[in-house]
Amino acid sequence: MRMFLALALMFMSTGSFAAEEGDSTRGQRVYNACVACHSLEPNKNMTGPSLADLWDRPAGGLKSFTRYSEALKSSGIIWDNNSLDAWLANPDKFIPDNEMTFRGIPDARARADLLAFMKEATKPGNAKMAQTQGGMGGMMSRAAPNLKKLDPEDQVRKISYCRDTYRVTTADGKTHAYWERNLRFKTDSGDEGPVKGAPAILGAGMMGDRAAVVFSAPEEITQFVVREC
Ligand code: HEC
C-alpha cells in the first residue's frame, strides 16, 4: 500500500510538472508585451524596473529603481514561479494599488510559456542573448531607442519659439514648425539618453504633426529654446 502511494504521488507530481512547464520560444513572443516598459539588462530601468535577476528578489526591491509604489514595496512578496504567475494573471488582484498599467495575461498556458522564457532570460548575462534571438519585436513593442546615436534628421540643432509655434531645426538643415501644444519636452539622463547639447527629436503622432524633443537634462530646455520671430 505504501509503495503504491509513493508511486501514485510520484506520478502525480511528474504529471503536474509536465503540465506547468512552458515553452520558452513561445514565451519570448508573449514577453513582447513587456519590452516597452521593462529591460532584461541589469539596472536598466524604464517605465518599470529592470527584470534582470528577478527570481528570489523581494517585490519592490531593486535599489536602482526609484518609482515603486508603496503597495509593491510593502507587499512582502518574493518573486518565484508561483508569485509571478499570480501577478501576471491579474496584477491588480494580486497586489491592489500597484502602479503597473498592465491588465494581465488570463491564459495560463501563455503565462507558463512566458515564465519559462523569463526564467532563462533574467539570469545574469542572458539579456543580450534573449534580445538577439528575438526579432519578433516589431513596431508596436519596440524598446526605447538609444539617443546617443542619432541620424542627422533626428538631432536637434535649434528650437525657436514665436507666438504659438515652435520651429525645430535638425542637423540635416531642415526646419519643422509645430503648434506649441503638439511639441513635448522630455529628458533622459541615462546611458541611452542624448549627448549634452544634442537633443533628439522623436516623431510621436501618426500624423507627423506631433513630436517630442528629448534633452539630456532639464536645464538644457530653457537654454535651448530661444524666443525669436
Ligand atoms: C506600461 C508599462 C508596463 C508594462 C507593459 C509591463 N510592466 Fe511590469 N511593471 C511596470 C511598473 C511601472 C512596475 C512597478 C509597479 C509598482 O511599483 O507598483 C512594474 C513591475 C513589475 C514587476 C515587479 C518587479 C519588482 O522589482 O518587484 C514584474 C515582475 C513585472 N512588472 C513584470 C512584467 C511583465 C512580465 C510584463 C509583460 C507581461 C510587464 N511587467 C508589463 C510597468 C509595466
Contact predicate 72/60, CB 8 Å: yes
Q: 40 and 130 in contact (C-beta within 8 Å)? A: yes
Return the domain boundaries, the chain.
2-133, 152-227
Q: How far apart are CA 125 and CA 207, in angstroms?
A: 40
Euclidean distance between CA atoms 77 and 67, whole angstroms: 17
Q: Is 89 in the pocket of ligand 1 (CB under 6 A)?
A: no
pTM: 0.78
Q: Which uninterrupted H or E stretch holds 28?
A: helix 24-31
68 lines ligand 1 (CB under 6 A): yes
The residue among 206, 197, 228, 167 whose CA lies nearest residue 216 is 197
The response to whether residue 95 sits with its C-beta less than 6 Å from ligand 1 reads no
Q: Whose CA is nearest to atom 1 of ligand 1?
A: 101
pLDDT at 206: 59
Architecture of domain 152-227: Beta Barrel (2.40)
Q: Do domains 2-133 and 152-227 have the same CATH topology?
A: no
Q: Which residues contact 180 (CB under 8 A, 6 or more apart)?
A: 161, 164, 165, 166
Q: What is the dotted CATH code of the domain comprising 2-133? A: 1.10.760.10
Please give the distance, rounded to the nearest whole angstrom, from the Cα atom of residue 48 to the centre of ligand 1: 5
The ranges of the chain with pLDDT < 50 are 1, 7-19, 134-141
What is the sign of the dihedral through the CA atoms of 177, 179, 180 and 182?
A: negative
Q: Is the CB of 185 under 6 A from ligand 1?
A: no
pLDDT at 100: 96
Q: Helix H segments across 80-143? A: 81-89, 91-94, 108-121, 127-133
